[in-house]
Amino acid sequence: MVVLGIETTCDETAAAVVERLDDGPGKILSNIVLSQVNEHAAFGGVVPEIAARAHVEALDRIIAKAMADAGQTFETIDGVAAAAGPGLIGGVIVGLTTAKAIALVSAKPLIAVNHLEAHALTPRLTNAVPFPYCLFLASGGHTQIVAVRAVGHYELIGTTVDDAIGEAFDKTAKLLGLGFPGGPQVEQEALQGNPVRFVLPRPMHGRPEADFSFSGLKTALRLEAEKIAPLSDQDVADLCASFQQAVVDVVLDRLRAGMRLFRERYGAPNALVAAGGVAANQALRKVLNRLAFESGTVLVIPPPALCTDNGAMIAWAGAERLAFGLTDPLDVAPRARWPLEECTGVGKPA
């Protein structure tokens, strides 16, 4: 089946067309993403009203481009999927309302996709990973360890009790006067820095549960920076390196706990999967490779373009749900908050 996917939950306006076969990975027929980084850079973060207005202005032409590149029309596709949350509600409304209009006019099924479920199912699009598998979701808004057991069957193993990992990177960048988005800037600076110059905490380290915390680490970094202000270029690089090393150590420890809990509850996972924009960080990828080797499992990380927000993951999640007859009425509501574990599913989970 062929599904159009629309993503507008934050600051990317995206649309894609994806084909789902009976078995094996999916086929991306088109994937168009328009970033709003330039619109938000001056503010050091995403401004919800600016994001929503930009989606309104760009979405129609992005969808037209995606359909043209895929060689499809609204008559030839099998369904229309849109991210219905969680996210910035103004942007979510733009994408979902557009999808409703297309579904109504073309008499095609509507699939209201949970943005987090789309991240969770992306490794099945790229690598046909069988259920169950362990997902490490790391983005600007989310940090979770999830047991992905079937379409619509997700069980939370661990989550952050305060800041998300991407949010911690962005706040660190802003504190140190780096550009937006902050994560890539901190990673680049860390390459030139000394990761052991500053002694920073490793929150939650050694605890039996698999939860994360980054707020204390961020505060400790600020205090170290204030001690030596004004900061030289080398100070900034060393702070970034020390911060990133602390994050890497935390992730390794927390994922070890998460993988142990996964095995106790569900048996051995078929893969360790990483998704979300922070999964593009090379230092984190190294530690994920190490953990997968220790655990005797395979590591699956989708290409960087499919780790950050995109329409292909929405289209794929829509196709996965549509294959089980999971569609939504035209009055389905957008949701600013929508925990992954509240997704509905079918069948017996693996």
Task: State whether 152 and 265 are in the same domain.
Answer: yes
Domain span at residue 65?
Answer: 2-126+304-342
Provide the residue type at 246 as one letter. Answer: A
Task: State whether 165 and 100 are in the same domain.
Answer: no
Pairing mode, if any, of strands 110-114 and 79-85?
parallel
Q: Report if residue 347 sits inside a domain.
A: no
Task: State whether 282 and 312 are in the same domain.
Answer: no
Q: What b/e readout covers 178-208, taking b as 16+ CB neighbours within 10 angstroms?
A: bebbbbbbbbebbeebebeebebebbbeeee
Q: Report if residue 81 sits inside a domain.
A: yes
pTM over 0.85: yes
Task: State whether 83 and 172 are in the same domain.
Answer: no
Task: State whether 81 and 104 are in the same domain.
Answer: yes
Task: State whether 31 and 57 are in the same domain.
Answer: yes
pLDDT given for residue 43 in this prediction: 77
pLDDT given for residue 319 in this prediction: 97
pLDDT given for residue 108 in this prediction: 98
Q: Report if residue 149 sits inside a domain.
A: yes
How many whole angstroms separate alpha carbon 335 and alpha carbon 329?
15
Q: Report if residue 349 sits inside a domain.
A: no
Low-confidence residues in the chain, pLDDT < 50: none
Number of domains into which the chain is organized: 2
pLDDT given for residue 168 in this prediction: 93
Q: Report if residue 350 sits inside a domain.
A: no
pLDDT given for residue 46 in this prediction: 83
Token output for 133: 């598998």
- What tens digit of pLDDT does each residue of 308-329 get? 899 999 999 999 999 999 999 9
Q: Report if residue 275 sits inside a domain.
A: yes
Task: State whether 62 and 190 are in the same domain.
Answer: no
pLDDT given for residue 153 in this prediction: 95
Task: State whether 87 and 235 are in the same domain.
Answer: no
Task: State whether 9 and 66 are in the same domain.
Answer: yes
What CATH code is carried by the domain that includes residue 139? Answer: 3.30.420.40
Task: State whether 142 and 278 are in the same domain.
Answer: yes
- Spatial neighbors of 62 by CB under 8 A, at least 6 apart, are 13, 14, 15, 32, 34
Please give the C-alpha separations between residue 226 and each of 82, 200, 239, 246, in angstroms, as whole numbers.
44, 14, 11, 19
Task: State whether 269 and 319 are in the same domain.
Answer: no
Task: State whether 241 and 276 are in the same domain.
Answer: yes
